[in-house]
Structure 1
């Protein structure tokens, strides 16, 4: 999964990231998404005592749409000088787009997620956790075996099972015959724990996933807006898995972080003022009223993205609970 997504010569994100073609994300659906998150970040920075300097960080920022919307809202609220901007982007294609989209804000590009520095920060990541590589385990009797990728008799990629049973502690509490497990969630919590030991901060993650028990077999691939076989077009399709928010919450709590959520995206955005912002946009752009309403509805409607997507915030242990939870 990591090779298919991030190989520098042939990986999907390195060569042909397909926002708007293979998939679409919330910031591309409605500007309200990024604007509300910008105001959330500004409020939380103020709640931290308005420290200066402070960093506003986005991980996996795509075209830069969300951060551009965030900064526009922050500036409109009079907080334009509050932050230095930092982006962490694995895709050179997207990094180039972010450079152009955010030129007015002079962002720094972090060499790695673990280079947050020692200044207070607010970090956001939308649809980033789901592309962290996963391991899969399949139950055979009372034992678990890791699912692996190899070649079949025709020389084509195929799934198989490792001959040796997996250690019992390598499989999270499973309610399915097959489970996905993302080792990078452990690394993420370790990085945040070390960063919060140096400076106060919050990290907000928005993604699709489960809140009770490890996800089952959720590995999926998307190409040109349709779901395809994950092994059919390696490097040419986007690979994704559901995020185990329950496990992320347990790991963060065990590391001493303050955990808020997960909560559903719809109620979270509505609590931040999605309805009021939508009505203001409609009044200012009556000829686009239908499109504005459709976009916001897609974000908050439980039948669309409102309940499928979850929001979790991991904070330094001495900070109060953030708004929206």
Structure 2
């Protein structure tokens, strides 16, 4: 039993079952025993696109440079990354920007919940002198571009099921043996306040998506900018129950190793799009990751990299293929861009 499991059991005994979203938040962010507070999972429990191929970050760097120019090349400008992991993607982004003779006025900023990753970012990105934001408090002080890869999937999700004609929220409690177990709350949930789907008997919703859109709406009311999100999820139809956990590259039960495994859910890109449109933002996408990267010129960059690194040709080819192949990450991962009202479509859309 993990230390966090013991802590959660005590909390449940004292206060009763907790919503799945509260359990997920505790597993990821408990300051003493939470996953992101205590361990660097990238490369061990899971792998992300920037770690698969440097070309991923390089393409996003050229995308950011192009969009900065489309914003009128503002002298004061922030390039923000949410959930920057080991700093790999921002390192690749800024290398590509500098190779294109740009980025001299970019202020690099990081929003990071993990103290473990923050330490790695400060070391790896020291020459960029990044600032570290808490809850995006500085967004909106200058024109900005926000980029987040595999960040939305970590936002805690509430889950609802229909039982006897009523909606009930799924909760984590204790079974007869005193072990963690998922059940449903006895009281009726306020699920109808969320968007429902005809015929659905269960659905999952990330409340923080609304907060995110509100933050961007406020920021874009002051300065122009864009926010690019890349993650796995669905474009249409609300997810049902997608909560899952990973440790050392293997999927494990979401209740098996709280605090020692990464928890994640599919992103409802359709809902994010609707929330942003309702808020008056310019919305482009979601589109699939494969076509998006191909449209940015990932194939040409791959060939150039192979020519310069013949000994790594197969490794480079396999990495880029994994990013764009529909059978791998190319279709499952989606890309959406939320922008200040009135901005034209960004490149890649």
Q: Do both share a fold (TM > 0.5)?
A: yes
Instruction: For 1:252 and 1:117, locate their aligned partners in 2 and report how far apart those are by CA, in whole Å.
Output: 17
The 8 Å contact of residues 230 and 239 in structure 1, kept in 2 or not, is answered as: yes
The 8 Å contact of residues 54 and 120 in structure 1, kept in 2 or not, is answered as: yes
**Contiguous gaps of at least 5 residues in structure 2:** 1-23
Instruction: For 1:66 and 1:216, locate their aligned partners in 2 and report how far apart those are by CA, in whole Å.
Output: 31
Normalized against structure 1, the TM-score is what? 0.98
Instruction: For 2:200 and 2:246, locate their aligned partners in 1 and report how far apart those are by CA, in whole Å.
Output: 24
Normalized against structure 2, the TM-score is what? 0.92
Instruction: For 1:141 and 1:300, locate their aligned partners in 2 and report how far apart those are by CA, in whole Å.
Output: 44
Q: Which residue, 133, 155, 158 being the options, matches 1:132? A: 155
2:332 aligns to what? 308
Determine whether 1:94 maps to 2:90: no
2:207 aligns to what? 183
The 8 Å contact of residues 65 and 103 in structure 2, kept in 1 or not, is answered as: no
The 8 Å contact of residues 172 and 181 in structure 1, kept in 2 or not, is answered as: no
Q: Which residue, 218, 230, 239 being the options, matches 1:215? A: 239
- Give 3-state SS (helix, strand or coil) of 1:150's partner: strand
The 8 Å contact of residues 243 and 265 in structure 2, kept in 1 or not, is answered as: yes
Residue-by-residue CA offset, 1:236-279 (whole Å, 9 max, x unaligned): 00000000000000000000000000000000000000000000
Determine whether 1:147 maps to 2:175: no
Determine whether 1:243 maps to 2:301: no
Q: Which residue, 94, 102, 109 being the options, matches 1:79? A: 102
Determine whether 1:231 maps to 2:259: no
Instruction: For 2:105 and 2:237, locate their aligned partners in 1 and report how far apart those are by CA, in whole Å.
Output: 39
Larger displacement relative to structure 2 (135-144 or 67-76)? 135-144
1:294 aligns to what? 318
Determine whether 1:262 maps to 2:292: no
**C-alpha deviation, 1:142, in angstroms:** 2.5
Instruction: For 2:322 and 2:193, locate their aligned partners in 1 and report how far apart those are by CA, in whole Å.
Output: 37
2:37 aligns to what? 14
- Give 3-state SS (helix, strand or coil) of 1:112's partner: coil
**C-alpha deviation, 1:220, in angstroms:** 0.4
**C-alpha deviation, 1:320, in angstroms:** 1.0
Determine whether 1:324 maps to 2:348: yes
Q: Which residue, 60, 66, 78 being the options, matches 1:43? A: 66
- Give 3-state SS (helix, strand or coil) of 1:81's partner: coil
What is the RMSD computed on CA atoms of the aligned residues? 1.0
1:52 aligns to what? 75
**C-alpha deviation, 1:183, in angstroms:** 0.2
Instruction: For 2:99 and 2:50, locate their aligned partners in 1 and report how far apart those are by CA, in whole Å.
Output: 18
Instruction: For 1:277 and 1:193, locate their aligned partners in 2 and report how far apart those are by CA, in whole Å.
Output: 35
The 8 Å contact of residues 189 and 255 in structure 1, kept in 2 or not, is answered as: yes
Residue-by-residue CA offset, 1:43-89 (whole Å, 9 max, x unaligned): 00000000110000000000000000000000000003031100000
- Give 3-state SS (helix, strand or coil) of 2:326's partner: coil
